[in-house]
Amino acid sequence: SSNSEGQITMYLSENGDADLSGGKIYVLRLKEISDGNGGKMTCEAGIVHNEGELDFGITYDVEFVEIADGAALTKDEMEEACIAVGATAFMRVEDVDYQKGNDANGRNVFVAVTGRGPGRGTYNDWGTAYRLQLDPQNPPSGKLTQIISGNTDTNNMDGNLPLLQSPDNIAVTENYIYLQEDPNSFDRGHAAYIYQTDLDGNNAKVVLELEVRQELDPTGSTGLSGEFGALTDISDKVGIPGTFLLA
């Protein structure tokens, strides 16, 4: 999206996992936002809320609302439809993954939101990540929690990871989250990291760092561009625990 920056979207079919065309398209809409004092308040109808209205670590009720004939809409039509139903805006949704292990775990969905960079006047400068817990009885509803945020000194200034810059990809195992950076458009003075956290976004540590060989650039660049691509846990495929494929 251009005007709203991005939404979290769900495709839902009642015809089984193989049905990739006969289902419906939904977008996430907050039912609650922060009251500005550490509590929560009910969202007012007809207002498009954004992730800047959420407090870090607080869990909010959400719902998914249908976009009628969503598969037939153009990009601009889809954005207009999202605004019309009050879909919640996120500053550049980039990637989604789910907890592994069993079907119940699979209802825990994790979302990486890149942010826009400092000095842009937006509601998310450095990037965030969310845990979305889908209701097992009613999947188009659930609870949303911001569990990782680089906004420690900007925006709401309540983040937990001051090194974070432009999270772009996310991989989730049964027990851990791996968040991958892409500092091509803005950075905090270091090349791309991959962080590991627990499923609550705590105990963050850098597990891999991209080494940028600037002396090999014929133009003499001093930039830190370069990103990690898809990270996939292939432990069950190769029979070796803790084995990943990194693009």
Phi, psi of 92 (to 5 degrees): 75, 75
pLDDT at 147: 98
**In angstroms, rounded to a whole number, what is the distance separating the alpha carbons of residues 199 and 173?**
9
220 falls in which pLDDT band (50, 70, 90)?
low
Mean pLDDT computed over 183-207: 94
Q: How confident is the model at residue 227 (pLDDT cuts 50, 70, 90)?
A: confident
Q: What is the pLDDT of residue 98?
A: 97
- Ranges of beta strands (E only) in the chain are 9-12, 24-30, 32-34, 40-42, 59-67, 93-98, 108-113, 128-134, 141-149, 167-172, 176-181, 193-198, 205-209, 231-233, 244-246
Looking at residue 211, what is its pLDDT? 82
Tell me the β-bridge partners of 206. Answer: 195
How would residue 228 be classed by pLDDT, with cut points 50, 70 and 90? confident
Q: Percent of the chain beyond pLDDT 70?
A: 95
Q: Is the pLDDT confidence value at 1 over 60?
A: no
Q: What is the C-alpha to C-alpha distance for residues 43 and 91, in angstroms, rounded to an integer? A: 19
Token digits of residue 233: 């846990």
3-state SS class at 59? strand
The helix/strand/coil state of 63 is strand
**Nearest CA among 129, 188, 117, 105 for reference residue 155:** 117
One-letter amino acid for residue 209 of the chain: E
